[in-house]
Structure 1
Amino acid sequence: MPPLASTAIDRRTLIRGAGALALAPALPAWARSGHAGLATAPGTLSGDTIALTVGERHFRTGGRSAHAVAVNGTLPAPLIRLREGQHVRLSVTNTLKEDTSIHWHGLLVPFAMDGVPGISFPGIRPGETFVYDFPVRQSGTYWYHSHSGMQEAMGLYGAIVIDPAAPDPVASEREYVLVLSDWSPMHPHAQLRRLKQQGGYFNMQRQTLAGLIAGRDQPLEERLHWGAMRMDPTDVSDVTGSTYHYLVNGHGTQENWTGLFTAGERVRLRLVNASAMTNFNVRLPGLAMTVVQADGQAVQPVETDELQIGIAETYDVIVRPVESRAHAIVAEAIDRSGLVRATLAPRIGMAGAIPPRRPRPVLTMKDMGMDMSGMGEGGMGDAVIDLSQPAGDPHAGHSMKMRDPANAPGVRMGPGVATISPMPVDRIADRPTGLEAEEHRVLTYAQLKSATRNPDTRAPSRTLDIHLTANMERYMWSFDGVKLSEGAEPIAFRHGERVRVTLVNDTMMPHPIHLHGHFFELVNGAGDHAPRKHTVNVLPGGKASFDLTADALGDWAFHCHMLMHMHSGMMRVVTVRHEGGGVEDAA
């Protein structure tokens, strides 16, 4: 028998080990490395009845741990796999000490099943169970997340794959779901407090005099314009790698999530950006990607070398490694403050090379809505910077505008509107922020074409402009200068009407704008094969238009999917009613 002291040490070790296990929720089986990459990944939840439990856990990555919100004890949440045409009942039990909810992002469901507290249902109280019950009307790659507080940033997110009723036209020998996310041990409410105190609190990549002299930063004249506006051209992500760890399926770079392949196989990667605040640039260095779906909808195949996936977007891509070596899957934060590397490899234990981080992007006058390319020697032309009121004045908006006072009809000017883009242009064909100068191919929205003819090809009967507005210095965000909490009027549509909506980005960062309950067709020159999406990332100082058929009765959330922008007011309610105002067919 071993000595008593030795036995006690072993017991303490066991206790410490048990405590460590309690700190970190187990990864769901589908998210672990090394499984076969089949459509039926281990641990997938499927069938007509699915049970989910939301609860408290801790999560550890990068040597730091913090409070988390998990589903069925895991982070990410379980992978849900459904089939087009089935009917599903998802019971969600709340074991938290606060209300929760789940929104089925991109799924066409009755509005009472959409999962947005205060809009479509009251939320799920502690100790209660809510049953989501709806038919599955589509196929593709989607995801789910909380719409309560900031639980999404704390781990309540998971992927949904819906198989088509007919044979899948996308051929592949293996398939992996890759959920991209950002994680910080700092509570999101604490992050928001810091941003309210200083808009660039997490930006550790500001311009410097040395950078200006070395030519790494803006030309002096342009920098002076930005300085006059109290804007920072390096502030493209409010929360950055200074606090975030970036993850693939819950794995950081050192944990090295690994998917297996055999040389020559077609591997389908279902990419989901479930981040709270991070747009990612995704590439597999040396390996081309063929885009086959965007937001779950089939598109005509497009081969590219890199794509930017906005928060809440999904892309399905096919890659075909022909060499039996490790290939890195790189998801780099848009501001280049960090990245996460995963690996495709012929066997476990291999790791793709971690590329060096590229120089951080510096925004230009075009990103301020001041494209000077067509203005000749006159430079600013009729555009002026109105400095009659300081940016920090609580009683007046500090704006950059055209001399025409009707520059932005419908925008409520005030302390929450720091800028109005003087000359916003349609940027749907532009390369995304930070990828403008890359020598390899980069996906743009203009390259996307629906694989099938759009279901509604009517011309819009009316147009609607919506401005994305902010005072970034004071961290105030809104649509048309009005926060949701300020009694913003709903955006009203008549059931079945066709409307062209133009989003005008009056801010200096991209915004992934999501409409619940609908798909819309991006106006990108593809005619009746325009890509159908539920989320569009609107570039800084630019415009993006989509045609919407308001075919889903009810009340729907419409918001920026940067979580803290939405939480700070960049959200509205869209109502779809019959001509007489009824929603009797919406349930």
Structure 2
Amino acid sequence: MTDLPSLPLDRRSLIRGGAALALAQAFPGWAATGTQDAAQGALSGETIALSIGDGHFATGGRSAHAISVNGGTPAPLIRLREGQYVNIAVTNRLKEDSSIHWHGLILPFQMDGVPGISFPGIMPGETFIYRFPVRQAGTYWYHSHSGMQEAMGLYGPIIIDPAGPDPVAYDREHVILLADWSPVHPHRLLQRLKQMGGYYNMQRQTLAGLLAGKDQGLKDRIDWGAMRMDPTDISDVTGATYSYLVNGMGTAENWTGLFAPGERVRLRIINASAMTNFNVRLPGLPMTVVQCDGQDVQPVETDEFQIGIAETYDVIVQPGEAKPYALIAEAIDRSGLVRATLAPQLGMVAPVPARRARPLLGMKDMGMDMGGMDMGHGGVIDLSQPANDAMSGHAMKMRDKSVAPGVKMGPGVATLSPMPADRTADRPTGLEHVDHRVLTYADLRSLTPNTDLRPPTRSLDIHLTANMERYMWSFDGVKLSEGAEPIAFRHMERVRVTLINDTMMPHPIHLHGHFFELVTGEATHNPRKHTVNVLPGGKLSFDLTADALGDWAFHCHMLMHMHAGMMRVVTVRHGEGAA
């Protein structure tokens, strides 16, 4: 292999170099020993060594055991270049098996890092060497796929510079790694949720909220109670136990990214949370989205966006004044937030806004987008009545096998969305009524034309199913542990996959080893993604070219949903699969 050419020392490189000391101070875990990119404090080159071990993490006056990589939490920033080859030696110094998955990277399936699917895992004391060519550019990340180690700190960012000119013009960049953290072990969190699905929901409606007119009226409460549903059940694990982090720091630690007034600053925003979808904004500073899931998109300006777990968004901001600006990542149920600061110098602190009023779910979130239909009961369908009566014959039966062919009905499927609607153009959960611009998937268009414009030869519906009260999660009513059959594709076939969310919370669904085109209206420029956040009661479609041979994981990226069963194996084979 030949060495990659060195980068010319241009103005951008000088600015990055001048900020290196501040970055090293801001990311102590990202200046690990090994080959270093001096401008970023990153691990780089053709040979990289990572050591997984026990550690400790503290924030906001709380501390607990954590999992570290090269002695730090979060894990080190890895910086690569499109077209290079990389060997990453991962040593497991834990007393349990471990692994690393390279999220969003296109590589041989044996290097994908999912125990039991693509490799055996890394046993205690062993070293596994991941070897693969770097075939893409953009913002990505890596994390454990063993147990729930990801929730304990085994996650880190990956930045891949393009082989040629970058289509995005910027003067300075910062990596923004969002995360949630609890001093309670994730297995204990899951145990509590199985005992009571709303264990961490401290924002239920109250009598005071009813009297103040802030919550549902009495009639709506009675109707929702009859359906055994809670309109405040938006997040499973909340700010009641979670601290929210930017680059491993809470609001009090005030992570700070520097800028000079007038600069174009690129923020590479990664949601590495275990269970939290965030709404992201910089009050007083518009954001121009230029990349999503590592794929360049046509620039679109917005004031706020929702980032699902495992998604990435690159945005350009251009601060005009020499003052601190707040970067806010607020949990979608608004049970907590984290504030970081963009500032012209270290030591400045941006204000922390008050948390906004927590949202309430509505009929559309139950898959009952009936428009102006008169449903009785003040517009609320009473599911305690027989389905045909409750829905006036306009919708399909609930809990009826004829509703969704292929869905295994049982105690793990509490409801099916009667009338799921395509929600790619909808504002996401909690942002329906804010008085500023909000990004939707329909706003995203790929920067360059998509290359495979063949029409799909078949379609496939996959239901996201659950019994939220019992904390049971699945695809099509079947958990992975129940012997779910693999989802089979023929190599290079073109398939339209429709995800139907039969639950009342959004699910970020990730397919390993592939990118797909989210169907938003214009096939030539449908955005390419590896993770999509399916809104409650809604559906969305993507077109997939099954171009990666092997066995791949396909799952909800809410860690505890995946762990509880919302996961399948996708197989891609020559000449196999559906006709």
Contact 1:260 1:345 in 2 (8 A): yes
Q: State how 1:203-352 maps to structure 2 within 5 Å.
A: 203-352=201-350
- Aligned counterpart in structure 1 of residue 52 of structure 2, from 51, 54, 67: 54
Q: Which residue of 2 aligns with 1:486?
A: 482
In structure 2, do the counterparts of structure 1 residues 235 and 528 end up closer, same or farther at CA, with 3 Å as the change threshold?
same
1:194 aligns with 2:192: yes
In 2, Cα distance between equivalents of 1:32 and 1:46:
17
In structure 2, do the counterparts of structure 1 residues 431 and 330 end up closer, same or farther at CA, with 3 Å as the change threshold?
same
In 2, Cα distance between equivalents of 1:403 and 1:160:
43
Q: Which residue of 1 aligns with 2:392?
A: none
In structure 2, do the counterparts of structure 1 residues 250 and 404 end up closer, same or farther at CA, with 3 Å as the change threshold?
closer
Q: Which residue of 1 aligns with 2:413?
A: 417
In 2, Cα distance between equivalents of 1:524 and 1:220:
39
Displacement of 1:440 in angstroms is: 0.4
Displacement of 1:166 in angstroms is: 0.5
- Aligned counterpart in structure 2 of residue 354 of structure 1, from 352, 355, 359: 352
Displacement of 1:150 in angstroms is: 0.3
Displacement of 1:226 in angstroms is: 2.1
In 2, Cα distance between equivalents of 1:421 and 1:173:
47
In 2, Cα distance between equivalents of 1:382 and 1:433:
19
In 2, Cα distance between equivalents of 1:322 and 1:74:
35
Q: Which residue of 2 aligns with 1:507?
A: 503
Contact 1:28 1:77 in 2 (8 A): no
Indicate the RMSD between aligned Cα atoms, in angstroms.
2.2
Displacement of 1:526 in angstroms is: 2.7
In 2, Cα distance between equivalents of 1:422 and 1:90:
48
In structure 2, do the counterparts of structure 1 residues 29 and 554 end up closer, same or farther at CA, with 3 Å as the change threshold?
farther
1:16-67 per-residue CA deviation (whole Å, 9 max, x = no partner) reads xxxxxxxxxxx975625999xx996442000000000000011111111101
Contact 1:512 1:562 in 2 (8 A): yes
1:509-528 per-residue CA deviation (whole Å, 9 max, x = no partner) reads 00000000000000111321
Displacement of 1:372 in angstroms is: 2.7
1:302-346 per-residue CA deviation (whole Å, 9 max, x = no partner) reads 000001000000000000000000000000011100000000001
Q: State how 1:134-153 maps to structure 2 within 5 Å.
A: 134-153=132-151
In 1, Cα distance between equivalents of 2:434 and 2:380:
33
Contact 1:494 1:577 in 2 (8 A): yes
In structure 2, do the counterparts of structure 1 residues 210 and 54 end up closer, same or farther at CA, with 3 Å as the change threshold?
same
Displacement of 1:225 in angstroms is: 3.0
Q: Normalising by structure 1, what TM-score?
A: 0.89
SS of residue in 2 equivalent to 1:450? coil
Displacement of 1:296 in angstroms is: 0.2
Q: Which residue of 1 aligns with 2:116?
A: 118
Contact 1:383 1:401 in 2 (8 A): no
Q: Which residue of 1 aligns with 2:514?
A: 518
Contact 2:516 2:543 in 1 (8 A): yes
In 2, Cα distance between equivalents of 1:573 and 1:40:
40
In 2, Cα distance between equivalents of 1:405 and 1:46:
53
1:181 aligns with 2:179: yes
Contact 2:47 2:88 in 1 (8 A): yes
SS of residue in 1 equivalent to 2:289? strand
1:444 aligns with 2:440: yes
In 2, Cα distance between equivalents of 1:350 and 1:78:
26
1:464 aligns with 2:460: yes
Displacement of 1:217 in angstroms is: 1.5
Q: Aligned AA for 1:524?
A: T
Contact 1:178 1:270 in 2 (8 A): yes
Q: Aligned AA for 1:336?
A: R
- Identity percentage of aligned residues: 76
In 2, Cα distance between equivalents of 1:517 and 1:489:
19
Q: Which residue of 2 aligns with 1:555?
A: 551
Contact 1:458 1:498 in 2 (8 A): yes
Contact 1:494 1:550 in 2 (8 A): yes
In 2, Cα distance between equivalents of 1:360 and 1:214:
15
Q: Aligned AA for 2:546?
A: A
Q: Aligned AA for 2:81?
A: R
Q: Aligned AA for 1:229?
A: M
Q: Aligned AA for 1:464?
A: L
More displaced stretch, 221-230 vs 255-264: 221-230
SS of residue in 1 equivalent to 2:397? strand
Q: Which residue of 2 aligns with 1:531?
A: 527
Contact 2:417 2:502 in 1 (8 A): yes
1:261-291 per-residue CA deviation (whole Å, 9 max, x = no partner) reads 1100000000000000000010000000000
Contact 2:101 2:143 in 1 (8 A): yes
Contact 1:261 1:346 in 2 (8 A): yes
1:185-222 per-residue CA deviation (whole Å, 9 max, x = no partner) reads 00000000000000000010001122123221223343
Displacement of 1:404 in angstroms is: 7.4
Contact 2:396 2:403 in 1 (8 A): no
In 1, Cα distance between equivalents of 2:365 and 2:307:
19
Q: Which stretches in structure 1 are left out of the alignment for 5+ residues?
A: 1-26, 390-398, 582-587
Aligned length: 544
In 2, Cα distance between equivalents of 1:547 and 1:331:
31
1:95 aligns with 2:87: no
Q: Aligned AA for 1:416?
A: G
In 2, Cα distance between equivalents of 1:388 and 1:504:
23
Q: Which residue of 2 aligns with 1:565?
A: 561
In 1, Cα distance between equivalents of 2:426 and 2:179:
25
Q: Aligned AA for 1:419?
A: T
Contact 1:222 1:365 in 2 (8 A): no
In structure 2, do the counterparts of structure 1 residues 130 and 111 end up closer, same or farther at CA, with 3 Å as the change threshold?
same
In 1, Cα distance between equivalents of 2:418 and 2:320:
50
Contact 1:34 1:260 in 2 (8 A): no
Q: Which stretches in structure 2 are left out of the alignment for 5+ residues?
A: 1-22, 388-394
Q: Aligned AA for 2:419?
A: M
Q: Which residue of 2 aligns with 1:154?
A: 152
SS of residue in 2 equivalent to 1:65? strand
Displacement of 1:231 in angstroms is: 1.6
Contact 1:462 1:499 in 2 (8 A): yes
In 2, Cα distance between equivalents of 1:53 and 1:145:
13
Contact 1:230 1:473 in 2 (8 A): no
- Aligned counterpart in structure 2 of residue 577 of structure 1, from 564, 573, 578: 573
In 1, Cα distance between equivalents of 2:310 and 2:501:
18
Contact 2:401 2:408 in 1 (8 A): no
Displacement of 1:405 in angstroms is: 5.5
More displaced stretch, 271-280 vs 216-225: 216-225
Displacement of 1:411 in angstroms is: 0.7
- Aligned counterpart in structure 1 of residue 76 of structure 2, from 60, 63, 78: 78
Displacement of 1:105 in angstroms is: 0.1
1:101-124 per-residue CA deviation (whole Å, 9 max, x = no partner) reads 000000001000000000000000
- Aligned counterpart in structure 2 of residue 45 of structure 1, from 43, 47, 67: 43
Contact 1:333 1:339 in 2 (8 A): yes
Q: Aligned AA for 1:220?
A: L
- Aligned counterpart in structure 1 of residue 473 of structure 2, from 470, 473, 477: 477
SS of residue in 1 equivalent to 2:220? helix
Displacement of 1:169 in angstroms is: 1.2
In 1, Cα distance between equivalents of 2:29 and 2:150:
24
Q: Aligned AA for 1:243?
A: T
Q: Normalising by structure 2, what TM-score?
A: 0.91
